[in-house]
Amino acid sequence: MPKTNAFFANNLIQWYLQNKRTLPWRATKDPYRIWLSEIILQQTRVAQGLPYYLKFIEAYPSVKHLADAPESDVLKLWQGLGYYSRARNLHATAKMVANDMNGIFPNNYKELIKLKGVGDYTASAIASICYDHSEAVVDGNVFRVLSRVFSVSTPINSTVGQKEFKKLAQQLIDQKQPGTYNQAIMEFGARYCVPQNPNCDACIFNPHCIAFQTKTVNQLPVKIKAKPIKKRYFNYLVVISKNEKTILQQRLGKGIWHKLYEFPLVETSEKVNAKKLKTLPQFQEYTQNLKFESITLYNDEPITHKLSHQHLITQFWIIETFKEQHDFIPISKITKYAVPVLIENFVSEFFANY
DNA sequence: AAACCGGGGTA
DNA sequence: TACCCAGGTTT
């Protein structure tokens, strides 16, 4: 174990100053930019989130710009990043800050955590990075580093584990540079104390890391096993009129992709053929006024779109029709709507010639 | 406490 | 495959 908390913090910060990546949100203490970066980086790798951060800063240079944008624009810009509640909460919080707080972000943990989409981690990150408050962050990196160095085997996704690691992190934080310390331990976890095959032999902490000394690094951190993945069967009805128009619907119920757009969807409990599909009430409801000319299966082999907790086994049915209704939109306008990656991939492939 | 919420990278 | 990622909200 590290001899003292100061030893741990000082060495971590020293390592960080020599090894940190140059990232745009590390060049500012502007709470708008720090907040935006933290929301984008929730459950998201830096490499994946970075282009989105740059897009958002360009489109919305201030919280007021973001607040004044339509939610549909924010969702469209967020398209492809996943966990879309982040985008909806981002926009709601921007409106709150711009309209009810005079455009000024709260400057302490207690007020920050009241914002939509801001939990313990994000409130601590903003308070420490922007305002030098001693609020320890606990993200996936911190769980991993602390569980190994101090050999804590409490499951990190249990309630007691969350509290235990938070308390330990708060004991270790550098009081003089809490923001730098927080970023240092996260960077160390992301770049050095990595989940698989970390280079422990060259690690600055290996004399003090209990997991290394006891050869239990590959057993930590401990995580309670997740539930098995559920399979769902999606049938999208890609209606195409002679006038090159189609139908999109907005998802408004509970569940995935709330407020994003998709083709009319018939979900089934198993893979269906055209004959079976035509008998389903949902299919008949969608097509009753269409008088469709033909229906053909686009993808012979179903496309399996993999989410973290479910696999979407998807068939796209091409339905040609003479009739057009008020809710038809030009195919060329599909790109204006925020759609899931599953839909985006199909559209870019199938409509490449339109 | 458990369930739910995306998409992509890595071994 | 399995696991993970600068987590948070809802039930």
pLDDT in tens, chain A (354 residues): 566 888 999 999 999 999 999 999 999 999 999 999 999 999 999 999 999 999 999 999 999 999 999 999 999 999 999 999 999 999 999 999 999 999 999 999 999 999 999 999 999 999 999 999 999 999 999 999 999 999 999 999 999 999 999 999 999 999 999 999 999 999 999 999 999 999 999 999 999 999 999 999 999 999 988 888 999 999 999 999 999 999 999 999 999 999 999 999 999 999 999 999 999 999 999 998 888 778 999 999 999 999 999 999 999 999 999 888 889 999 999 999 999 999 999 999 998 877
**Domain at A214, CATH number:** 1.10.340.30
Q: Which residues contact A83 (CB under 8 A, 6 or more apart)?
A: A42, A43, A44
Q: Integer distance in angstroms from CA A227 to C1' B3?
A: 10
**Does some domain include residue A201?**
yes
CA distances from A22 to A5, A27, A35, A79, A303 (A): 27, 8, 18, 25, 38
**Does some domain include residue A225?**
no
The pLDDT value recorded for residue A205 is 95
**Span A250-268, pLDDT tens digits:** 999 999 999 999 999 999 9
Q: Integer distance in angstroms from CA A57 to C1' B4?
A: 30
A141 contact to strand C (CB, 7 A limit): yes
Do A46 and A75 share a domain, yes or no? yes
Which of A186, A219, A252 is at the close of a domain?
Answer: A219
The pLDDT value recorded for residue A335 is 96
A110 contact to strand C (CB, 7 A limit): no
Cis peptide before A221 (omega within 30 of 0): yes
Give the residue nearest to nucleotide C9 (CA to C1'): A117
Do A87 and A206 share a domain, yes or no? yes
Do A207 and A265 share a domain, yes or no? no
Do A211 and A239 share a domain, yes or no? no
Q: Integer distance in angstroms from CA A206 to C1' C3?
A: 24
Give the residue nearest to nucleotide C4 (CA to C1'): A195
Query: Which nucleotide comes closest to A43 if you measure CA to C1'?
Result: C5
> What are the DSSP E strand ranges found in chain A?
230-241, 245-247, 249-250, 261-262, 265-268, 292-297, 303-306, 310-321, 328-330
Do A105 and A212 share a domain, yes or no? yes
Do A298 and A252 share a domain, yes or no? yes
Q: How many domains does chain A have?
A: 2
The pLDDT value recorded for residue A291 is 81
Burial A86-119 (b: 16+ CB within 10 A, else e): bbbbbbbbbbebbeeeeeebbeebeebbebebbe
**Does some domain include residue A224?**
no
Do A153 and A285 share a domain, yes or no? no
A129 contact to strand C (CB, 7 A limit): no
Q: Label the pairing between strands A230-241 and A310-321.
A: parallel
**Span A265-292, pLDDT tens digits:** 999 999 999 999 999 999 999 998 888 7
**Does some domain include residue A148?**
yes
Query: Which nucleotide comes closest to A45 if you measure CA to C1'?
Result: C5
A164 contact to strand C (CB, 7 A limit): no
Query: Which nucleotide comes closest to A46 if you measure CA to C1'?
Result: C6
Do A157 and A281 share a domain, yes or no? no
**Domain at A324, CATH number:** 3.90.79.10
The pLDDT value recorded for residue A2 is 60
Q: Is A349 a catalytic site residue?
A: no
A89 contact to strand C (CB, 7 A limit): yes
List the domain range (segments joined by +) for residue A277: 230-353
